Chain A
Amino acid sequence: MRFLLRTLLFFSALSWSTFASASSKTDEEGFNVSEYIMHHIQDAHEWHLWGEGHDATSIYLPIILIDNGVKVFSSSHFYHGKEVHLNNEHCFMGTGPAEGYALVHEKIYALEGGQLNIHDGHVTNAMPWDLSVTKNVLSLFIGVGILLLVLMSTARYYRKNGAVSPKGIAKFIEPLILFVRDEVAIPNIHGGKHVKYLGFLTTVFFFILVNNLLGMIPVFPGGANLTGNITITMFLAVCTLLITVFSGNKNYWKHIFATPGVPWLLLPIMIPIEIVGIFTKPFALMIRLFANITAGHIIVLALISIIFINKSEAWGALSVPMALFISVLEILVAFLQAYLFSMLSALFIGAAVEEDHH
């Protein structure tokens, strides 16, 4: 709790500096809340720490492009490159090794004759393959690093001490592992088949949990909206989908193509519905995690923004307690969504490997 409070205080202080510089710059046109929130919850090629514009202190992340060979350079060549405004679009023209490329809305375009072509507010230039280590990718690496560090030391404890009661970090991690096994895997995947899928379920649980919690930390190494990114949730949902489809037994497919107890005249309707059902389940997984985490970030940022919209510190008396409340709620959501994702994955896998009871 003390850690949380400290984190939040730091968060508010940091937001203060960030937003203060922003509001001073955009004073005349007013503080654009939605633009600011969108910037914070989306991916970027830099990890912004504080300050604004050319005074900003950021961690410039490596850009990796595949465009007639692999090109690797720092994103500072964009952010500290030539800044131009085209049709109200904020464009960074690359300099040095980034020459010939432009960064618009965190997307990299190849210039055609040194020009950006814009039609109906969209850049129509070709896009090289962008495999950059972005903010979310670095956050992913940090999250996985923390996970490996914590879990490996847990495993080391057992390797060193054998089958004994847990102590230290193992005391914290073991109940979580056993929770996934006893409350997620075993009740949903019957007949002792859970053993095969337990590795995936525990990995997904810990992966989502650690990245949810990292997202709650407002500054580096946290603050990236990783589990609120559709790419991550899509990847995890596709993993569940593939496992479900490839472990589906005869019984599972029979329920899809010849649902027992359904008159055959209804089958032309039922089969498409069931096939759509295969995809809607993981789709719901993808949307649930994405929406929950993104919404949490948006609410906290919006509540803090109240201060800057009204340009009065006094509003902090309202917005800080509310943001604190939502942040505490988000910690609950972090655990809840990790549990839900693994639980529903287990449920879908369990349905796919269920034996016929008729």
Chain B
Amino acid sequence: MELITPSYGLLFWTGITFCLLLFILAKFVWKPVLNAVNARSQKIDEALLEADKARKEMQALHAENERILKEAKAQRDEILKEAKEAATRLVDDAREKAKTEGNKLIESARVAIDNERNAAIAEMKTQIAQFSIEIAEHLVKESLSSDVKQKELTTKMVGELKLN
């Protein structure tokens, strides 16, 4: 019976001790320890999240690099193409110009030749006229012998001249 009879002396000390223990532990142990544990788990969560973010950023950066590289390549190709085109155009232009110039030269040469020829023809005509006069003079000198012959000759010569 004694074994299951509570004793108030022990109850008194237990009450005081347990309440003090509860107060001290709640204030100085459970609260700071659980706070530290919670803060730690939050820190770990944040670190994990940050690592994830960093990895994603790295991936994004990588993709960006790839894109820039691709763009640069494309740009290079573009530039090369443009340069080639420009070169071709330049050459073509030069050729065209040369051709025009050449044509122009030829034309002017032709004009000059024509002019020379015309001048030559004119001079020839003058000379022929001169010769004709001389011939005529000569003929006139000979026509004293025969009028008919003279006339024939003159006609013939003039006709030949026209043909020329």
Binding site for B on A (CB under 8 A): 38, 41-43, 105, 129-134, 136-137, 140-141, 144, 147-148, 151-152, 154-155, 158-159, 162-165, 170, 173-174, 177-178, 181, 198-200, 202-203, 206-207, 229-232, 234-236, 239, 290, 294
Contacts and interface: CB of A to CB of B under 8 A. Distances in A.
A279 B6 CA distance: 17
Contacts of B33: 154-155, 158, 170, 173-174, 177
B7 interface: yes
B43 A199 contact: no
A234 B36 CA distance: 34
B21 to A, nearest CB: 5
A130 B9 contact: yes
B2 interface: yes
Contact of A105 (B2, B15, B17, B25): B2
Q: Which one of A129, A163, A170, A174 has the highest number of Cβ atoms from chain B below 10 Å of its Cβ?
A: A163
Nearest to B6: A231
A43 B10 contact: yes
Contacts of B24: 148
B40 A199 contact: no
A235 B5 contact: no
A142 to B, nearest CB: 11
A144 B24 CA distance: 11
B131 interface: no
B9 A155 contact: no
Contact of B9 (A41, A137, A147, A148): A137
A294 B21 contact: no
B9 A152 contact: no
A42 B42 CA distance: 49
B14 A198 contact: no
Q: Which one of B5, B28, B33 has the highest number of Cβ atoms from chain A below 10 Å of its Cβ?
A: B33
Interface of B is mostly: helix
B13 A158 contact: no
A164 B65 CA distance: 38
B144 interface: no
Interface of B: 2-15, 17-18, 21-22, 24-26, 28-37, 39-40, 42-43
A140 B21 CA distance: 11
Q: Which one of A38, A158, A164 has the highest number of Cβ atoms from chain B below 10 Å of its Cβ?
A: A158
Contact of B32 (A132, A159, A290): A159
Given A137-B10, A199-B30, A239-B18, 4 more contacts: A147-B21, A158-B33, A203-B22, A290-B4
Q: Which one of B5, B10, B11, B25 has the highest number of Cβ atoms from chain A below 10 Å of its Cβ?
A: B10
The 6 A-B residue pairs with the shortest CB-CB distance in the complex, in nearest-first order? A163-B39, A158-B36, A199-B26, A163-B40, A231-B6, A231-B10
Given A163-B36, A177-B33, A207-B18, A230 B6 contact: yes
A197 B5 CA distance: 29
A132 B13 CA distance: 9
A229 B4 CA distance: 8
Contacts of A147: 21, 25
A181 B34 contact: yes
Contacts of B8: 129-130
Given A134-B9, A144-B17, A42 B2 contact: yes
A163 B46 CA distance: 13
A83 B18 CA distance: 36
14 contacts: A42-B2, A42-B3, A133-B13, A141-B17, A151-B29, A152-B29, A155-B28, A159-B36, A163-B37, A203-B25, A206-B25, A231-B11, A235-B15, A235-B18
B136 to A, nearest CB: 137
Contacts of B7: 43, 130, 231
B17 A198 contact: no
B21 A207 contact: yes
Contacts of B13: 131, 133, 137, 140
A108 to B, nearest CB: 10
A283 to B, nearest CB: 12
B29 A164 contact: no
Q: Which one of B18, B25, B43 has the highest number of Cβ atoms from chain A below 10 Å of its Cβ?
A: B25
A131 B34 contact: no
Nearest to A162: B36
Contacts of A294: 3
A234 B14 CA distance: 10
A163 B2 contact: no
Contact of A230 (B3, B15, B28): B3
A166 B5 CA distance: 43
A230 B10 CA distance: 10
A103 B37 CA distance: 52
